Amino acid sequence: MTDEIIVQRVLEGNTHIFSELVNRYKDRVYAMACNFIGDYSEAQDLSQEVFIKVFGSLHLFKGGSSFSTWLYRICYNMCIDWIRKNKKKWIRACENYEDNDRPDASADVENNYIAACKRNSVITGVNSLKDKYRAVIVLFHFNNLSYEDIAHILKIPVKTVETRLYRGRNQLKKLLAAELSGGGKYEMQAGS
């Protein structure tokens, strides 16, 4: 059964069938919330609020885009609202990511450890990007959405999505280059 048919059935009064849509998209919505707000527990609650809002707004779904794009747009807007209202929590979540997710320094393979540190640096860099670059980076790389879907969600042209992706990645390259040129940090941690 397609998403649009399920929406139609829900609007006709079969409320219980909405759980099918929830089960289809709960992990992706949760992933998007995690990737934006960084706090796993808050992301769970926010994800539930997304679906409750979606249910209350189903009558507004006109079918101009796919249901998934419409859902992601609502999720994205709610994530941005959450960050605006909870700036301090969001900053703390970004800082905690850097501290808690750094791999164990006693890893057997030094190269794997350094590679993992580089990955952590990339993610820390993502959190420091401007909102417009972070949004496209998160939606493309973390949520595996297409240029067209991202354009629909953010209400920008496809070409703008492409431009922002390239600029966002360039900024990450520069951040990474600056961190790696400080160099010794990884070697010291690997050796400890």
Partner 1 sequence: MKCRQAAELFNIYFEGGLDRSRTRELMEHAAACQDCRREMDMLGVVFDGLGSQTASRKVRESFTKDIMSVIEKGSKRPVNLQNGAQNDYRPVYRRLGFSLIITAAVMLISVSIPQTAKISDAYASVNSRVQNILNDVSNQIGFQKEE
Quick one: how far is CA 9 from the chain centroid?
Answer: 30
Structure tokens at 127: 């959190």
The answer to whether the beta carbons of residues 27 and 51 sit under 8 Å apart is no
Residue 156 touching partner 1 (CB under 8 A):
no
Report the nearest approach of partner 1 to the CB of residue 99 (Å).
17
Which range binds partner 1 by CB under 8 A, 70-78, 80-88, 103-111, 119-127? Answer: 119-127
Residue 12 as a binder of partner 1 (CB under 8 A): the answer is yes
State the first-to-last Cα distance of the chain, in angstroms, to the nearest integer: 56
Among 2, 13, 106, 182, binds partner 1 (CB under 8 A): 13
> Is position 123 an interface residue for partner 1 (rule: CB under 8 A)?
yes
**Cα-atom radius of gyration of the chain, to the nearest Å?**
19
Amino acid at residue number 115: A
With CB under 8 A as the contact rule, the residue among 5, 14, 15, 96 that binds partner 1 is 15
Q: Determine the size of the site formed for partner 1 (CB under 8 A).
A: 46
Measure Cα distances from 141 to 83, 99, 135, 144, 184 in Å.
20, 22, 10, 5, 29
Q: Does 56 bind partner 1 (CB under 8 A)?
A: yes
57 vs 96 by CB, closer to partner 1: 57
Do the Cβ atoms of 150 and 120 come closer than 8 Å? no
CA–CA dist 186, 102 (Å, integer): 11
Out of 63, 91, 166, 178, which residue is the one contacting partner 1 (CB under 8 A)? 166
Residues within the interface to partner 1 (CB under 8 A): 10-13, 15-16, 18-19, 22-23, 26-27, 30-31, 34-35, 40, 44, 47-48, 51-52, 55-59, 115, 118-123, 126, 137, 141-142, 144, 165-166, 169, 172-173, 176-177
